[in-house]
């Protein structure tokens, strides 16, 4: 499962960096460049609840493999963006955004299923290490994939990155096919209607305060973090004039921070569940402090170093809250919880990316970074103060309870 996510995310980052450069080259617009990242998140908001329901009601292995196979075709579509055929169909920016949107929607079917399957694949005492490892795949490939994606696009062309992306999904599907252990604990629940299934999950969240608190962590922080990340290509292309290689550098250092941050900060705060969950608010504050450095950096290398430190905090916030959701949710509803969590994140991320892209048309990127950094620090401190009481007792088994029926249900 770890290798499957690693390979799949690696292909995604190979694709995203050249697409950012291509759209910026075609349009010359900050808002359309930001829209590339929005196209990579908004469809995930729409598809994630469905992905959660599929993860709870169907064979998780088949869900993951089918979505990866569909992604091969979607990635191959991107070869037409800058081709004669693509231009005859309208090509350019609309086709690039459409291809990224399809990939994002299919990816949103994979993430809840693979995250929900994790407790079934490891022993309880290994869940923390396994969660940190699997959740680090995004950061690993954001670091390696984006850096190499920028390099590949510069040296041998953007089409090569697209082909690598398509092949990565085939490898990811094959790896999941080879897993022999069941991907769930217990039996598949009754399918029912999607609306009823989601209503049950929402009722579960409302009756479990720690779960509700953890779900506000990612979505709330994305208001600041996603919009700022959407402007990193603009910082490279328009402020530092560093091209695709500069974009790959900033996004690559971001990925390194996401990768090492959870392991490093976990070692600093201690390995107990309570200390890890208490640290979530402070990791958001670390991101804000670091982006003040990004706003003031005189060179792209110093900006990248500040981005690395900031996303060590952002990656920890993501991983720590995901681990908390593993602890506090039952397997029968875990797919829907992760699906709704991802949907909330992608919704706030998309809104933030588009808003920040619009602001960048009239406001200096450095000024936007500075203001966002201060707001993120305030949010982190506030979240810590409002939620710290939930982590005073051990998490295991404390809030996990049967799923309440939705209001108006005959059950």
CA-to-CA dists, residue 356 to 96, 207, 384, angstroms: 20, 35, 26
Q: How confident is the model at residue 400 (pLDDT cuts 50, 70, 90)?
A: very low
250 φ/ψ sector (left φ>0, alpha ψ -120 to 50, else beta): alpha
pLDDT tens string 313-332: 998 999 999 999 998 888 88
Q: Which of 32-41, 45-54, 332-341 has the least mean pLDDT?
A: 32-41
CATH of domain 2-391: 1.20.1250.20
Residue the block writes with tokens 């936007």? 368
DSSP element (H, E) containing 404: none
Maximum alpha-carbon separation in the chain: 64
Yes or no: say if 59 and 34 are a contact pair by the CB < 8 Å rule. Answer: no
DSSP element (H, E) containing 46: helix 42-57
Geometric angle at alpha carbon 219, from 217 and 225, rounded to 5°: 95
Domain ranges across the chain: 2-391
Distance linking the first and last C-alpha atoms of the chain: 36
> What is the model's pLDDT at position 407?
46
CA-to-CA dists, residue 386 to 166, 213, 288, angstroms: 44, 9, 19
Mean pLDDT computed over 48-76: 89
Nearest-angstrom CA–CA distance, 287 and 312 = 8
> What is the model's pLDDT at position 153?
67
Residue the block writes with tokens 């022993």? 123
Long-range contacts of the stretch 390-393 (C-beta < 8 A, 24+): 390/209, 390/210, 390/213, 390/277, 391/210, 391/273, 391/274, 391/277, 391/278, 392/274
pLDDT tens string 237-277: 888 888 777 887 887 788 888 888 998 999 998 778 888 89
Nearest-angstrom CA–CA distance, 370 and 372 = 5
Yes or no: say if 131 and 354 are a contact pair by the CB < 8 Å rule. Answer: no
CA-to-CA dists, residue 104 to 15, 70, 111, 305, 360, angstroms: 12, 11, 11, 28, 25
Closest CA to 5 of 125, 123, 145: 145
> What is the model's pLDDT at position 298?
92
User: Mean pLDDT over all residues of the chain?
Assistant: 82
Q: Which of 76-85, 102-111, 257-266, 331-340 has the least mean pLDDT?
A: 76-85
Q: How confident is the model at residue 376 (pLDDT cuts 50, 70, 90)?
A: very high
Yes or no: say if 56 and 48 are a contact pair by the CB < 8 Å rule. Answer: no
Closest CA to 121 of 81, 189, 178, 57: 178
> What is the model's pLDDT at position 211?
92
């Amino acid at each position: 499962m770890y290798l499957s996510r690693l390979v799949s995310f690696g292909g995604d980052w190979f694709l995203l960096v050249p697409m950012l450069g291509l759209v910026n080259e075609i349009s010359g617009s900050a808002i359309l460049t930001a829209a590339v990242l929005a196209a990579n998140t908004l469809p995930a908001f729409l598809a994630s609840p469905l992905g959660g329901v599929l993860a709870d009601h169907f064979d998780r292995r088949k869900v993951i493999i089918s979505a990866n196979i569909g992604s091969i075709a979607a990635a191959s579509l991107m070869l037409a963006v800058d081709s004669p055929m693509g231009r005859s169909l309208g090509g350019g920016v609309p086709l690039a955004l459409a291809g990224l949107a399809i990939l994002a929607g299919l990816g949103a079917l994979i993430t809840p299923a693979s995250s929900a399957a994790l407790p079934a694949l490891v022993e309880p005492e290994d869940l923390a290490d396994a969660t940190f490892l699997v959740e680090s795949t995004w950061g690993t490939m954001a670091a390696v994939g984006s850096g190499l994606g920028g390099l590949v696009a510069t040296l041998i062309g953007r089409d090569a990155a697209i082909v690598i992306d398509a092949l990565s999904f085939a490898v990811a599907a094959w790896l999941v096919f080879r897993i022999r252990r069941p991907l769930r604990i217990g039996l598949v629940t009754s399918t029912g209607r999607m609306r009823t299934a989601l209503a049950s999950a929402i009722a579960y969240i409302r009756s479990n305060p720690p779960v509700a608190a953890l779900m506000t962590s990612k979505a709330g922080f994305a208001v600041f973090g996603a919009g700022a990340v959407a402007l990193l290509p603009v910082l490279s292309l328009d402020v530092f004039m560093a091209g695709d290689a500069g974009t790959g550098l900033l996004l690559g250092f971001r990925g390194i921070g996401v990768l090492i941050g959870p392991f490093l900060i976990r070692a600093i705060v201690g390995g107990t569940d309570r200390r890890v969950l208490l640290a979530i608010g402070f990791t958001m504050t670390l991101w804000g402090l670091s982006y003040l450095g990004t706003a003031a950096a005189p060179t792209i290398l110093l900006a990248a170093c500040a981005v690395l430190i900031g996303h060590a905090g952002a990656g920890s916030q993501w991983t720590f809250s995901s681990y908390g959701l593993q602890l506090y949710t039952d397997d029968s509803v875990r797919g829907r919880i992760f699906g709704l969590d991802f949907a909330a994140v992608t919704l706030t991320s998309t809104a933030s990316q588009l808003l920040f892209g619009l602001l960048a048309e009239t406001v200096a990127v450095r000024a936007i970074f500075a203001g966002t950094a201060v707001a993120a620090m305030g949010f982190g401190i506030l979240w810590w103060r409002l939620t710290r009481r939930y982590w005073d007792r051990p998490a295991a088994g404390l809030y996990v309870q049967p799923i309440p029926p939705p209001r108006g249900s005959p059950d």
